[in-house]
């Protein structure tokens, strides 16, 4: 569970005070071979979501949980108080059911909430002009120490196209504050999740990805759920949603939160539904409210709330090919129809805001009516709901509660841009958080790919966080390998979007990897990649020896036909013959062609 990532080490950059220690990952590089000039290559620093688990000196103790790095910052603001005994939701549950103690987390933290009348959201502080330690931490984290590469050729980058976003050259704590204040970014950071390493979701920051875990009613065991979390963040999950249902839901979540360095999201209506034995009609506002408080006290950082599924929108889904595909959306639609009443999440929205601001839980306003197939994309039900989410955003902002907006789903490429433009306009630039979208329905077994295509596009247009889809989507519960494949697919989409937007420094890693590739620094090529272990495994399949890790070719083209090798030959030829690279290319190619014809025309060589 705690292997370091190959070829790199965890570093901490200190902020303006000693308790701001921002984790980053430094990938070391070898020297350029003398043949190519022999220069030193600087270490490349990258964003690191993996928490202490990749630190070889860290002793994992799941029963104790992670250190509470934000506890001091929360306490010094002086606006929260501890809940004891029956004043907390869990305290009341334990009093009612002593059996619960058996599952009690050894180090369960006493829950806190805002003092009467206080508002403890990052948005509230931002709007008063306060730069919190969380904001400073985020600024350092987002910059990934690219300042250290000032003047280096690795910093050269194509200009991006970022569709109205105002990307700064370097992120400052004040910029973080201003984006949060105007609602264009959120910092999901419940005061009861002090273990979390602060991060930000907004279109002027690095594109983030979310991984879902715990999808099943057949509980796979609490330690296994924590292991899934640790696995997800190892590959780069920026947030994790715990979608557990079934038994021990509270305890599972407690273990996950206490051991999570990334924000945790949930869909509270799932647990509320468990409490009424799965009968949607039996749900009440009171049951839902108590569930919200219970989860807020545990430290859930954001809640998916399907408050835009209005009674009048439900009939609009009747003629769809796949109706309502959102779990939460279908629960609320059923409730609305059964009672012929307006969605209680909508009618009680201001009450929900009161809870959110007492713990700093962010809204992820659910897309309960998202299209579930290409044929249903961008229809009246979907956009009716989106417009409603825009109205709710303004209500939440009135309370200084942070909001992001969930989006589709299944959308063909030519209809993706309209989604982003409409979201920006109707939801007043609150961050967009989309599920893919899948750009075609015809590839069950490969939906991490169908959806990463859409995710890359919508990320480029301005979506702030991409919810991953695994290869098992529509087919079954993902296993470990599926989770890894899904996350890597989404890291690719997110990074491709950052490059296209021209996010400052985004291209540094591409430049470094390409240089390593050109110079046949194989280990560096693996280590600079998103999945060093897989890259090495693939290379080892045909060229396992250590000596192969400095060979000037790979088994794809063999020693004679490596284009990189040929380019280097062209350059050497040019230098030797005193010709320009262009004419050397012509001459060199003629020579190569003669050589090629002599050897027969086998293009693929088994090396
Ligand atoms: C993200 C964007 N749209 C939906 N999602 C995610 O889908 C949401 O955050 C949650 O993790 C998952 C399931 O949501 P439904 O099916 O209950 O809407
Ligand atoms: Fe789907």
How far apart are the CA of 18 and the centre of ligand 1, in A? 38
Contacts of 391 (CB under 8 A, 6+ apart): none
Spatial separation of the C-alpha atoms in residues 185 and 364, rounded to whole Å = 12
329 lines ligand 1 (CB under 6 A): yes
Local confidence band at 251 (pLDDT 50, 70, 90 cut-offs):
confident
Q: What is the pLDDT of residue 498?
A: 98
215 lines ligand 1 (CB under 6 A): no
Tokens of 531: 């999945």
Spatial separation of the C-alpha atoms in residues 400 and 183, rounded to whole Å = 9
DSSP 110: P
Q: What mean pLDDT is predicted for residues 116-132?
A: 98
328 lines ligand 1 (CB under 6 A): yes
Q: Shortest CA distance to 514 belongs to which of 145, 154, 158?
A: 154
pLDDT digits (tens, 9 = 90+) for 21-47: 999 999 999 999 998 899 999 999 999
Local confidence band at 567 (pLDDT 50, 70, 90 cut-offs):
confident
| Binding annotation for Zn(2+) | 410, 474
Bridge partners (DSSP) listed for residue 105? none
**Alpha carbon nearest to ligand 1 atom 7, residue:** 435
How far apart are the CA of 181 and the centre of ligand 2, in A? 34
| pLDDT beyond 70 at 200 | yes
406 lines ligand 1 (CB under 6 A): yes
Contact 413, 429 (CB under 8 A): no
How far apart are the CA of 366 and the centre of ligand 1, in A? 7
Pick from 189-193, 209-213, 594-598: least confident: 594-598
267 lines ligand 1 (CB under 6 A): yes
Q: What is the pLDDT of residue 308?
A: 98
Q: What mean pLDDT is predicted for residues 343-363?
A: 98
Looking from the CA of residue 328, the nearest atom of ligand 1 is 17
Spatial separation of the C-alpha atoms in residues 137 and 151, rounded to whole Å = 25
Cis preceding-peptide flag for 140 (omega within 30 of 0) = no
What are the Cα distances from residue 275, in Å, to 116, 270, 469?
A: 29, 9, 28
| pLDDT beyond 60 at 117 | yes
Local confidence band at 607 (pLDDT 50, 70, 90 cut-offs):
very low
| Binding annotation | 212, 241, 270, 306, 326-328, 367-370, 406, 410, 433, 474, 554, 557, 562
| pLDDT beyond 70 at 102 | no
| pLDDT beyond 90 at 383 | yes
Run of H or E residues at 219: none
* Pocket residue to mutate for ligand 1, from 208, 271, 309, 367, most atoms within 8 A of Cβ: 367
| pLDDT beyond 70 at 523 | yes
Q: What is the pLDDT of residue 606?
A: 44
Looking from the CA of residue 329, the nearest atom of ligand 1 is 18
Spatial separation of the C-alpha atoms in residues 404 and 394, rounded to whole Å = 12
Looking from the CA of residue 306, the nearest atom of ligand 1 is 18
Q: Is 383 helix (H, G, I), strand (E, B) or coil?
A: helix
Contact 331, 402 (CB under 8 A): no
Q: What is the pLDDT of residue 186?
A: 98
How far apart are the CA of 430 and the centre of ligand 2, in A? 24
Spatial separation of the C-alpha atoms in residues 375 and 359, rounded to whole Å = 41
3-state SS record for 226-289:
HHHHHHHHHHCCCEEEECCCCCCHHHHHHHHHHCCCCCEEECHHHHHHHHCCCCHHHCCHHHHH
Contact 524, 536 (CB under 8 A): no
Looking from the CA of residue 270, the nearest atom of ligand 1 is 17
What are the Cα distances from residue 534, in Å, to 5, 126, 462, 526?
A: 12, 42, 30, 8
Tokens of 178: 């201003």
Give the β-pairing of 403-407 and 465-467: unpaired
Run of H or E residues at 68: none
How far apart are the CA of 4 and the centre of ligand 1, in A? 31
Mean model confidence pLDDT for the chain: 92
Local confidence band at 116 (pLDDT 50, 70, 90 cut-offs):
very high
| pLDDT beyond 70 at 173 | yes
309 lines ligand 1 (CB under 6 A): no
pLDDT digits (tens, 9 = 90+) for 322-342: 999 999 999 999 999 999 999
How far apart are the CA of 326 and the centre of ligand 1, in A? 7
Contact 91, 83 (CB under 8 A): yes
Among all ligands shown, which has an atom nearest to the Cα of 363? Answer: 1
Looking from the CA of residue 366, the nearest atom of ligand 1 is 18
pLDDT digits (tens, 9 = 90+) for 465-482: 999 999 999 999 899 999
3-state SS record for 171-203:
CCHHHHHHHHHCCCEECCCCCCCCCCCCCCEEC
Tokens of 96: 């009612």
Contact 240, 210 (CB under 8 A): yes
The sign of the dihedral angle between the CA atoms of 278, 283, 285, 290 is negative
């Amino acid at each position: 569970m705690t292997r370091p990532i190959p070829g790199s080490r965890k570093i901490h950059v200190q902020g303006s005070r000693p308790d701001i220690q921002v984790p980053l990952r430094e990938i070391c590089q070898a020297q350029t071979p003398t043949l190519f000039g022999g220069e030193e290559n600087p270490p490349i620093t990258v964003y690191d979501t993996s928490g202490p688990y990749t630190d070889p000196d860290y002793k994992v103790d799941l029963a104790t949980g992670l250190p509470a790095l934000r506890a001091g910052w929360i306490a010094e603001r002086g606006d929260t108080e501890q809940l004891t005994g029956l004043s907390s939701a869990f305290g009341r549950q334990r009093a009612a059911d002593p059996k619960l103690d058996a599952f009690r987390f050894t180090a369960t933290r006493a829950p806190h909430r805002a003092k009467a009348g206080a508002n403890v959201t990052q948005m509230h502080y931002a709007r008063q002009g306060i730069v919190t330690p969380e904001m400073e931490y985020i600024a350092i984290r987002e910059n990934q120490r690219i300042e250290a590469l000032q003047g280096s050729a690795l910093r050269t980058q194509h200009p991006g196209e970022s569709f109205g976003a105002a990307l700064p050259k370097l992120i400052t704590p004040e910029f973080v504050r201003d984006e949060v204040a105007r609602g264009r970014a959120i910092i999901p950071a419940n005061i009861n999740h002090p273990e979390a390493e602060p991060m930000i979701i907004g279109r002027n920051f690095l594109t983030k990805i979310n991984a879902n875990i715990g999808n099943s009613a057949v509980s796979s065991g609490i330690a296994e759920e924590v292991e899934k979390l640790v696995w997800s963040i190892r590959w780069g999950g920026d947030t994790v949603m715990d979608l557990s249902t079934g038994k021990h839901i509270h305890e599972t979540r407690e273990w996950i939160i206490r051991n999570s360095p990334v924000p945790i999201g949930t869909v509270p209506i799932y647990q509320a539904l468990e409490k009424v034995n799965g009968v949607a009609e039996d749900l009440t506002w009171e049951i839902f409210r108590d569930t919200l408080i219970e989860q807020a006290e545990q430290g859930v950082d954001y809640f998916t709330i399907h408050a835009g599924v209005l009674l009048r929108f439900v009939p609009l889904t009747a003629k769809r090919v796949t109706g309502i595909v959102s779990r939460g959306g279908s629960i609320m639609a059923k409730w609305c129809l059964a009672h012929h009443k307006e969605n209680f999440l909508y009618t009680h929205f201001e009450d929900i805001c009161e809870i959110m601001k007492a713990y700093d839980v962010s809204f992820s306003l659910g897309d309960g009516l998202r299209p579930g197939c290409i044929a249903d994309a961008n229809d009246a039900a979907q956009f009716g709901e989106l417009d409603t989410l825009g109205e709710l955003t303004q209500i939440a902002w009135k309370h200084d509660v942070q909001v992001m907006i969930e989006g589709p789903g299944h959308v063909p490429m030519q209809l993706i841009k309209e989604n982003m433009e409409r979201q920006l306009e109707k939801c007043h630039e609150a961050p967009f958080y989309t599920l893919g979208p899948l750009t075609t329905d015809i590839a069950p077994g490969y939906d991490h790919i169908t959806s990463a295509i859409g995710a890359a596009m919508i990320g480029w247009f301005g979506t702030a966080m991409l919810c991953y889809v695994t290869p098992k989507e529509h087919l079954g519960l993902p296993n470990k390998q599926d989770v890894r494949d899904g996350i890597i697919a989404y890291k690719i989409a997110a990074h491709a979007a950052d490059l296209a937007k021209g996010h400052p420094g985004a291209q540094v890693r591409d430049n470094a990897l390409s240089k390593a590739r050109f110079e046949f620094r194989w280990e560096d090529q693996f280590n600079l990649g998103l999945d060093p272990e897989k890259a090495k495994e693939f290379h080892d399949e045909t060229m396992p020896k250590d000596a192969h890790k400095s060979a000037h070719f790979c088994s794809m083209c063999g020693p004679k036909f490596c284009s990189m090798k040929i380019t280097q030959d062209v350059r050497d030829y040019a230098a030797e013959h005193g010709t320009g690279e262009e004419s050397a290319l012509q001459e060199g190619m003629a020579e190569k062609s003669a050589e090629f014809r002599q050897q027969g025309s086998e293009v693929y060589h088994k090396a």
